Amino acid sequence: MAKATFKGRPAVPGSVEGSAEVSHIGFNTCATYVDVLISGTDSGVCQDHDNKDLFGHDLADKIVCIPQTIGSSSAATLFMIILDKGIAPKAMLFANHIDSLAACGILMGDNWLGKRIVTVDLLGDDFLDAVKTGDKVKVHEDGTIEVG
């Protein structure tokens, strides 16, 4: 039985499960994937040294749980790049409302590359209080999230 269940809005719906990677501060997409952007590396390891929660963690195929994305407007293309390279998270779970940069990148990846990051937003602060890095997380098509 799940430790906790949350209901968000299925922004880009899908059913996936995996291991959680949790950031309690804004997810800086550009800083996280700065080496992918500048050096063209094929690594999903978080390079954002300001993010103590995720720095050095490989986010590929993980369930990334965040308040919201922040940072450069290059974020939209970065989502497409990491999807193209096969180093994207399996799901992005937002406590807050999704922002336009993440929305644009994830939707363009979905519609133009045929590669999906399952995305749920509006999960609330309680969600981030409950989920811990390493937790097993199950994402349902309707935006329901099972933690643990």
CA distances from 33 to 19, 53, 133, 136 (A): 20, 15, 19, 24
Of the residues 61, 70, 133, 138, which one makes contact with another protein according to CB under 8 A: 70
Residue of 24, 113, 146, 148 interacting with another protein (CB under 8 A): 113
Q: Given candidates 3, 15, 42, 97, which one binds another protein under the rule CB under 8 A? A: 97
Cβ distance to another protein smaller for residue 84 or 129: 84
Which residues are bridge partners to 17 per DSSP? 138
**From the list 101, 117, 128, 130, which residue makes contact with another protein (rule: CB under 8 A)?**
101
Axis-axis angle for helices 100-108, 75-85 (nearest 10): 30
Alpha helices, H only, the chain: 29-32, 34-38, 75-85, 100-108, 125-130
Token duo for residue 45: 């390891």
Q: What is the DSSP letter of 143?
A: S
Judged by beta carbon, residue 7 or residue 136, the one nearer another protein is 7
Kindly list the residues in this chain that would bind another protein in the complex (CB under 8 A). 7-9, 11-12, 26, 28, 30-31, 34-35, 37-40, 67-68, 70-78, 80-81, 84, 96-101, 103-105, 107-113, 121-124, 143
